[in-house]
Chain A
Amino acid sequence: MITNEFIAKIEGHGNLKIDWKKNKVVLEVAEGERLFEGLLVGRKAEDAYWVTPRICGVCPIAHNLASLAALEKAAQIKLERPIQLLRDLMQCAQMIQSHSLHLFFLSLPDYLGIDRGTELRKKNPKAFQYALELKELADNMASISAGRNVHPTTPTIGGFNKLPTKTELKKLLQQLEKTKEAAEWLPKFCQSLDYPELSVDLELVAIRNQKIYSSKNDVVDVDDYKSAIEEEIREFSTAKFSKFLGREVMVGALARLYFENKKYPLDFKNPFHNNLAQAIEVSLYHQKAMEIIKELLEVDLKNFDKKPEIKWMKEAKGIGAVEAPRGGLYHEIHVDENGIITYINIITPTVQNLTSIEKTAQALIEKYAHKPQKEKERLLNMLVRAYDPCITCSVH
Chain B
Amino acid sequence: MMKSKTLMTKKQNKKIIVGIFDFTDCEGCQVKLISLRDKFLKLEENLEIIAWRLGQEKFESGPYDIAIVEGTPIMPDEVELLKAIRGNSKILIALGSCAALGGIPAILSQKEREYWYQKIYGPNYKPRGIEAQPLSFYVPVDIVINGCPVDENEVLNVLENILAGKKPYPYDYPVCYDCKKANNDCRILKGLPCLGPITKNGCGAICISGGSPCYGCFGLRDGANVEALIKILEKIADKKTIALYLSMFHKKDIHYDNQ
Contacts and interface: CB of A to CB of B under 8 A. Distances in A.
Contact of A57 (B26, B72, B78): B26
Contact of A9 (B55, B73, B78, B85): B55
Interface of A: 1-4, 6, 8-9, 11-12, 30-39, 43-44, 47, 50-51, 53-58, 60, 101, 105-106, 115-118, 121, 132, 135-136, 139, 147-154, 156, 160-162, 233, 235, 238, 240, 392
Nearest to B37: A132
Contacts of B54: 8-9, 11, 106
Contacts of B78: 32
A35 B120 contact: yes
Nearest to B57: A8
Interface in B92-121: 103-105, 107-108, 112-113, 115-117, 119-121
10 contacts: A6-B53, A54-B103, A56-B26, A56-B28, A106-B54, A118-B40, A118-B44, A139-B35, A150-B31, A162-B211
Q: Which of A4, A56, A150 has the most CB of B within 10 A?
A: A150
Contact of B116 (A38, A116, A117, A147): A38
Contacts of B127: 33
Nearest to A135: B37
A110 to B, nearest CB: 9
Interface string B27-44: 111111011011011001
A139 B77 CA distance: 34
Interface residues of B, number: 72
A54 B210 contact: no
Given A39-B104, A233-B122, 6 more contacts: A8-B56, A30-B77, A33-B113, A39-B107, A50-B212, A105-B34
B34 A153 contact: no
Contacts of B171: none
Interface in B47-72: 49, 51-59, 61-62, 72
A57 B149 contact: yes
B25 A153 contact: no
A325 to B, nearest CB: 13
Contact of A233 (B72, B73, B105, B124): B124
Contact of B49 (A32, A56, A116): A116
Contacts of A116: 49, 52, 55-56, 58
Contacts of B108: 35, 38-39
Contacts of A156: 211
A54 B212 CA distance: 15
A376 B132 CA distance: 37
A118 B41 contact: yes
Interface of B: 19, 23-32, 34-35, 37-38, 40-41, 44, 49, 51-59, 61-62, 72-75, 77-78, 81, 84-85, 88, 103-105, 107-108, 112-113, 115-117, 119-122, 124-129, 132, 148-149, 206-207, 209-213, 241, 244
A12 B245 CA distance: 28
B51 A2 contact: yes
Nearest to B151: A148
B74 A153 contact: no
Q: Which of B25, B73, B78 has the most CB of A within 10 A?
A: B25
B33 to A, nearest CB: 10
Q: Which of B44, B56, B77, B107 has the most CB of A within 10 A?
A: B56
Contact of B210 (A55, A139, A154): A154
Contacts of A160: 211
Contacts of B211: 147, 153-154, 156, 160-162
B27 A57 contact: yes
B37 A136 contact: yes
A136 B34 CA distance: 11
Q: Which of A6, A37, A392 has the most CB of B within 10 A?
A: A392
Contacts of A57: 25-32, 149
A35 B51 contact: no
A339 B98 CA distance: 28
Contacts of B85: 2
A54 B28 contact: yes
B116 A392 contact: no
A3 B59 contact: yes
A2 B88 contact: yes
Contact of B26 (A55, A117, A161): A55
Contact of B61 (A2, A60, A117, A235): A2
A69 to B, nearest CB: 18
B59 A101 contact: no
Contacts of A148: 206, 210
Contacts of B116: 35, 37-39
A162 B212 CA distance: 10
A8 B59 contact: yes
Contacts of B81: 2
A151 B28 contact: yes
A3 B26 contact: no
B98 to A, nearest CB: 9
A132 B119 contact: no
Contact of B56 (A9, A34, A53, A153): A9
B111 to A, nearest CB: 12
B55 A35 contact: no
Contacts of A37: 116, 119-120
Nearest to A10: B54
B130 to A, nearest CB: 8
A54 B35 contact: no
Contact of B57 (A32, A50, A115, A161): A115
A132 B73 CA distance: 32
A14 to B, nearest CB: 11
A383 B243 CA distance: 46
Contact of A392 (B26, B29, B62): B26
A1 B108 CA distance: 31
A11 B62 contact: no
